[in-house]
Amino acid sequence: MKVLLCAALGLIAQVYAQGTRPNTLSNLRLWIKADSLDGGADRYTDGAVIDSAYNWGSVGGAFINAAGTDRPLYQTAVSPTGLPAMEFDGTDDNLVKNSSTAQFNFLHNGTQNTFILAFQLKAAGVAHVFFANNYTTAPTSTQTGTDFAITSSNTAQHFMTRSFAGQATYNNVTSNTFASTTIIQYMAVTITNAGNDTSFIRMNSVSQTRQVQQFAYAATDATQNASIGMASGGLNAYLFEMIIYEGIKSEAEIAGVIDYLQFRLEENITSSITRTGRRRMIN
């Protein structure tokens, strides 16, 4: 009886430790996972160029870059996890979903949303734009868009412009810095419109900074691309997972998703930081 009870408790603890699978939460709009870029099958070989990043579960189709030298590479075993990642070169690597405003305009039109990312920087002291929609590096009077980034000062940033004189609805930047190139990091950003509209950043499960909306959202949206990385440079990192929800997720839900990501990614790291004795990765 004691053996059975211990086994049951162990199973419960393991399930709890695995956290919350992202697609069990409502309103999932994007889930790019490096181990399943092509319909759940690892089509890419080590070092191959990525021309299409599958949006897991067929949520809105793939992000693509059909040709050219500005495509990220697929790495099958990134240290210290020994697991797959998309490698962006810091110059011009990008994957794009064309004319995506209908899918992603909720990120900048005042709708509540939640962004979660797992990554490992390859360099510090340079800008890393992980995701942007309808956005360029220099705000203009006709532009409305948003991005999620690590800045050249190694701070985490959520930036949003409105289409009036390039004003920023948010330019939410942490005071803490995140310059490590040897660990996996987790970024979570939420936009809530309960009371004053607010951008809130968490890094590595720790609350960072909150900013109240500075200017009104634009009334209309232009049809533009959404991009992972940018053709104008700005991402020098390994990307493991990217998740976006339309709608706000609670503290507990965000913590559950990050627990899930940590279990998938970090349970594979042995005490000696080798790839031997690796557990089978959960999906």
pLDDT tens, residue by residue, 218-227: 765 555 678 8
**Average pLDDT over every residue of 138-142:** 55
| Tokens encoding 282 | 């959960």
Lowest average pLDDT, out of 76-90, 140-154, 188-202, 264-278, goes to: 264-278
Neighbouring residues of 184: CB distance < 8 A, sequence distance ≥ 6: 81, 118, 119, 120, 240, 262, 265, 266
Q: Alpha-carbon torsion 23, 61, 140, 177, what sign?
A: positive
Q: What is the pLDDT of residue 102?
A: 66
Q: How confident is the model at residue 188 (pLDDT cuts 50, 70, 90)?
A: very high
252 membership: H or E segment, kind and range: helix 251-266
- The Cα angle at residue 264 between residues 48 and 209, in degrees rounded to 5: 100
- For the chain, strand residue ranges (E) read 28-33, 48-49, 52-53, 63-64, 73-78, 83-87, 94-97, 113-121, 128-133, 145-150, 156-161, 168-173, 185-192, 198-203, 206-212, 226-229, 237-246
When comparing pLDDT for 257 and 90, which is higher? Answer: 257
**What is the DSSP secondary-structure string of 182-245?**
SS-EEEEEEEE-SSS-EEEEEETTEEEEEEE--SPPPS------EEEE-TTS---EEEEEEEEE
pLDDT band at 107 (very low <50, low <70, confident <90, very high): confident
Residue 107's alpha-carbon distances to 21, 114, 144, 162, 255, in angstroms, are: 22, 9, 10, 12, 21
Whole-Å CA distances, 232 to 32, 68, 93, 126, 138: 22, 14, 9, 13, 11
CATH 1.10.3720.10 describes domain 2-266: no
Q: How confident is the model at residue 155 (pLDDT cuts 50, 70, 90)?
A: very high
Instruction: Give the rounded percent of residues in the chain with a pLDDT score beyond 90.
Output: 37
Q: Is the CB of residue 120 less than 8 Å from the CB of residue 139?
A: no
pTM of the model: 0.84
Q: pLDDT band at 203, cuts 50/70/90?
A: very high
Average pLDDT over residues 243-272: 84
pLDDT digits (tens, 9 = 90+) for 39-65: 445 578 888 888 888 776 555 567 888
Separation between Cα atoms, residue 88 and residue 196, nearest integer Å: 36
Peptide bond into 80 cis (omega under 30): yes
| Residue 110 predicted with pLDDT over 70 | yes
Higher pLDDT, 106 or 237: 237
Q: Are 215 and 1 in contact (CB under 8 A)?
A: no
Task: Round to whole Å and give the CA distance between 4 and 1.
Answer: 5
Asked if the model's pLDDT at residue 259 lies above 90, the reply is yes
Residue 181 has which token pair?
């190139």
Whether the Cβ atoms of residue 190 and residue 117 lie closer than 8 Å to each other: no
Beta bridge partners of 246: 113
pLDDT of residue 278: 34
- Confidence check: pLDDT of 2 > 60: no
Question: What is the pLDDT at residue 270?
Answer: 42
- CB half-sphere exposure, 226, CA atoms < 13 A: 23
Calculate what percentage of the chain has a pLDDT beyond 70. 74
- Burial degree of 192 (CB within 10 A; 0-12, 13-18, 19+): middle
pLDDT of residue 177: 95
- In the chain, the amino acid numbered 132 is A
